[in-house]
C-alpha cells in the first residue's frame, strides 16, 4: 500500500510518500516540501499548494492520503492557512477517488517515537531510522509528512473502534487509541439536545 502523508501549511506544506508492505514493513519513496512566499497573494499561494499536491498524487497514485489533523493554535492566521492547505489536500484526493485519513500530531508522534509529546528533532531522528535513511530528514515539515504516513501505516487495528479488540492491544497501542478518542471532534458534547 502506498501512503502519501501531508503536513499542511501555507508557507511550507510537507509531502512524504512511503510504501507499507507485508508485516508493516515500511519503505521510503519520496519526500518534498511545497513552498510559497508570504508576500504572495493568498489565492496564488493556495493555487501553488493545490497544484503541487495534485502533481504528487498523479505521480505516486497513493492508495490513501494521510493528513495531519488541524488543531487550534494561538496564532489564528497560522491555523487558518494550515486548515486551508489541509482542505486542499482533501479536495485533491477526493477528485481522484483516493480515501483520506486524518491523524493528530500526538498520534503521529506516538506512532513514530512512542512519545506523544516528542520534539521535532526526535520525530526527524525516528523517521530517519524507521525508513532506514542515511541522513536526517529536513526540514521538519518533510519529516512530519513522512511521520503522518508512518502513523497511518502503523495504526493499531481496532484502536479507533475500541471495544473487545482493544483488550488485545499493547500498552502503547492503548495509549494511541486513547489519544484518538480524546482528539475526536465534539468530544464531551451532548448530542441528545
What is the chain's Cα-based Rg?
Answer: 16
**32 assigned to a ligand binding site:** no
**7 assigned to a ligand binding site:** yes
**Cell numbers for 182:** 480524546
**63 assigned to a ligand binding site:** no
User: In this structure, are residues 107 and 156 in contact, taking their beta carbons and an 8 Å threshold?
Assistant: no
What are the backbone dihedrals phi and psi of residue 37, each rounded to the nearest 5 degrees, phi first? -95, 135
164 classed as catalytic:
no
Alpha-carbon distance of 69 to 52, in angstroms, equals 20
> Of residues 141, 144, 164, 178, which has the active-site annotation?
141
63 classed as catalytic:
no
State the helix-helix crossing angle for 120-130 and 140-154, rounded to 10 degrees. 60
144 classed as catalytic:
no
User: In this structure, are residues 24 and 153 in contact, taking their beta carbons and an 8 Å threshold?
Assistant: yes
> Of residues 19, 58, 68, 144, which has the active-site annotation?
68
- Active-site positions read 7, 68, 141
Annotated binding site for Mg(2+): 7, 68, 141
Amino acid at each position: 500500500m502506498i501512503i502519501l502523508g501531508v503536513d499542511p501549511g501555507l508557507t511550507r506544506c510537507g509531502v512524504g510518500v512511503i510504501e507499507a508492505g507485508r508485516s508493516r514493513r515500511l519503505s521510503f519513496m519520496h519526500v518534498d516540501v511545497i513552498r510559497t512566499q508570504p508576500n504572495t497573494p493568498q489565492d496564488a499561494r493556495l493555487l501553488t499548494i493545490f497544484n503541487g499536491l495534485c502533481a504528487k498524487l498523479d505521480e505516486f497514485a497513493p492508495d490513501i492520503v494521510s493528513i495531519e489533523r488541524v488543531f487550534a493554535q494561538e496564532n489564528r492566521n497560522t491555523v487558518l492557512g494550515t486548515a486551508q492547505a489541509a482542505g486542499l489536500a482533501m479536495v485533491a484526493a477526493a477528485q481522484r477517488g483516493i480515501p483520506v485519513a486524518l491523524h493528530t500530531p500526538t498520534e503521529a508522534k506516538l506512532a513514530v517515537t512512542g512519545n506523544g509529546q516528542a520534539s521535532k528533532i526526535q520525530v526527524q531522528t525516528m523517521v530517519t531510522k524507521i525508513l532506514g535513511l542515511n541522513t536526517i530528514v529536513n526540514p521538519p515539515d518533510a519529516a512530519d509528512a513522512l511521520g503522518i504516513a508512518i502513523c497511518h501505516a502503523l495504526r493499531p487495528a481496532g484502536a479507533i473502534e475500541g471495544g473487545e479488540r482493544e483488550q488485545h492491544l499493547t500498552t502503547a497501542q492503548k495509549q494511541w487509541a486513547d489519544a484518538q478518542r480524546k482528539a475526536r471532534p465534539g468530544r464531551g458534547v451532548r448530542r441528545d439536545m
